[in-house]
Amino acid sequence: MSRSDAEEIHAEALRVLSTIGVFFEDKGVEEIVVRAGGVRRDGRVLLPESLVEDSLKTVPRRIRLYDRDGNLVAVLGEGARVFNPGSAAIRILDYGATEPRSPTLADLKNLVVLADALQGLKAQSTALVPADVPAEVRDVVRLYVVLKYSSKPVVTGAFTVENLPLMVEMLASVREDYAEKPFAVFDVCPTPPLSWSTITSRNLVDLARLNAPAELIPMPSLGATSPVTIYGALVQHHAENLSGIAISQAVRPGAPVIYGGSPTMIHPYYGTASITSPEAVLISLGYRDLARLLDLPTHTYMALSDSKQVDYQAGAEAAYTAVVASLAGFDVVSGAGMLEYESVQSLEKLVLDNEAVMVAGRLTRGFDRDPAATQALAEGVLEKRGNFLALKHTRQNYRKEIRIPSVWDLEPRARAARQALLEKAHAAVQEILSTHAPKLLEGDQLEKLDNVLAKLYRQHNLKLGKPNI
């Protein structure tokens, strides 16, 4: 979009907030917004333009994201392209299976170890919801596994109001300066259209209070939970993000917020929510421009697929969205490994998506001017008779200029092991899981983390057996 297009949508979203307003399920959160200048009307709260504009003055423009050990990983707000696995899958598709199954803690551990090894993924996510853990504590246990088995930063989220503070306590148990040097971001999803449920709004309030980054994920579904036009959905999407920023800044000016989203196209016949449809991607690109207008860090769901199998469609959708996300310069890109409308994870697909992400990264890196090119051309033609492979210039530069794929099928036919790509991906999964040694959390940090886990189980009156992870 042009700047004037973006300004027009921003103005429309401000109008929406000041005339239609937002519904709060939780009256405590509603009161916070009213005290900040919101106006109650007919069960909703109108957000005057001044309230929103004031919140935009205090929301941070950059978020420095660190790993578990305190090393800087990326500066969000500068096109960081932090790809990470799609989060909160309720199923996992095993190699060779046609039907996905419920994941376990052991599956989550494997996924975390795998993601730790994959270079294209700069962050982890709490990617699976383990079915062998009591439902009341699944959100927190997911975070426990990630913190224990990987030092990469993590994209996560809470399923309940009361568990979020415990999740932040887990971060503090690992590193006390979690707020100054954040290594986890929490997804918070408003309910479309223009509503905030108790869970998500109170999560957002707690995150602001605890100074932990919140990643706002509006979820307009064209024609179902938002207007059917991309423009209309974009106005709603922007308004919902602005309302999230207003809540957050009302609690604590300066609280970190990432402008994100998960727009979908509801299939007009099946009712399925396609996240990789061109219409959904256009909304994402549109809100990227809106976030850029406000100079805010951005998030998107890309490098994923709506297919049910790791097949042509899966590859096409994951690769095209990975390239779009990378070229568009989103800061946080969630989705790798994901199938079937963000509900099914696959370890093999995670490996293949990592490859797509690396390709996207290479495309984005572009190329530099080479002052030695003419000299290399002269040497190649005049001295090496066209054999550039024998050139020092080649030897010195090829590894940085050329990204060598690790899984893609590029072997000559004679050397190929006659494995299908999926088989190669499976072999890579097996190899990584048997050889990769992640940097485990140990000593005092692990003990403190274990204590928070025990506290979680006590709070829910659940018996914590000997952790099998």
Please provide the size of the chain in residues: 469
Rank residues 187 and 353 by Cβ distance to other proteins and give the closer one: 187
Min dist CB 174 to other proteins, Å, is 25
Peptide bond into 130 cis (omega under 30): no
Binding to other proteins (CB under 8 A) within 424-463 occurs at none
DSSP string, 189-231: --BTTTEE-HHHHHHHHHHHHHT--EEE----EETTTB-SSHH
Q: Which residues of 158-187 are buried (b: 16+ CB within 10 A; e: fewer)?
A: bbbbebbbbbbbbbbbbbeebbebbbbbbb
Rank residues 91 and 238 by Cβ distance to other proteins and give the closer one: 91
23, 95, 231, 408: which one binds other proteins (CB under 8 A): 23
Rounded to whole angstroms, what are the CA distances from 337 to 155, 187, 299, 310, 330?
A: 14, 18, 17, 9, 18
Find all residues with CB under 8 Å of 157, minimum gap 6, and list them: 87, 88, 126, 139, 186, 187, 188, 203
HEC assignment per residue over 271-309: CCEECCCHHHHHHHHHHHHHHHHCCCCEEEECCCCCCCC
Min dist CB 135 to other proteins, Å, is 5
Number of residues that bind other proteins (CB under 8 A): 29
Determine how β-strand 63-66 pairs with β-strand 273-274.
Answer: unpaired
Interacting span for other proteins (CB under 8 A) from 67-75, 220-228, 251-259, 312-320: 220-228
Min dist CB 273 to other proteins, Å, is 7
Q: What gap in Å lies between CA 308 and CA 287, rounded to an integer?
A: 28
Binding to other proteins (CB under 8 A) within 248-277 occurs at 266-269, 271, 273
Q: What gap in Å lies between CA 315 and CA 253, rounded to an integer?
A: 42
Rank residues 273 and 356 by Cβ distance to other proteins and give the closer one: 273
39, 58, 165, 198: which one binds other proteins (CB under 8 A): 198
8, 31, 58, 191: which one binds other proteins (CB under 8 A): 191
123, 189, 338, 350: which one binds other proteins (CB under 8 A): 189
1, 75, 131, 327: which one binds other proteins (CB under 8 A): 131
- 156 is a contact residue toward other proteins (CB under 8 A): no
Min dist CB 181 to other proteins, Å, is 29
Q: What gap in Å lies between CA 271 and CA 394, rounded to an integer?
A: 53
Rank residues 273 and 359 by Cβ distance to other proteins and give the closer one: 273
- Quick note: the x/- pattern for other proteins over 30-69, rule CB under 8 A, is ----------------------------------------
- Quick note: the x/- pattern for other proteins over 73-92, rule CB under 8 A, is ---------------x-xx-
What's CA 346's distance to the chain center, in Å? 16
Rank residues 131 and 172 by Cβ distance to other proteins and give the closer one: 131
Min dist CB 58 to other proteins, Å, is 28
Rank residues 129 and 140 by Cβ distance to other proteins and give the closer one: 129
Rank residues 271 and 465 by Cβ distance to other proteins and give the closer one: 271
Interacting span for other proteins (CB under 8 A) from 62-70, 130-138, 146-154, 205-213: 130-138
Binding to other proteins (CB under 8 A) within 88-117 occurs at 88, 90-91, 102
Using an 8 Å Cβ cutoff, are 345 and 91 in contact?
yes
Rank residues 33 and 74 by Cβ distance to other proteins and give the closer one: 33
Q: What gap in Å lies between CA 452 and CA 247, rounded to an integer?
A: 28
Using an 8 Å Cβ cutoff, are 407 and 351 in contact?
yes
3-state secondary structure of 326: helix
Q: Return the CA Rg of the chain.
A: 23
Residues that bind other proteins (CB under 8 A): 23, 25, 88, 90-91, 102, 129, 131, 135-136, 159-160, 189, 191, 195, 197-200, 223-225, 266-269, 271, 273, 343
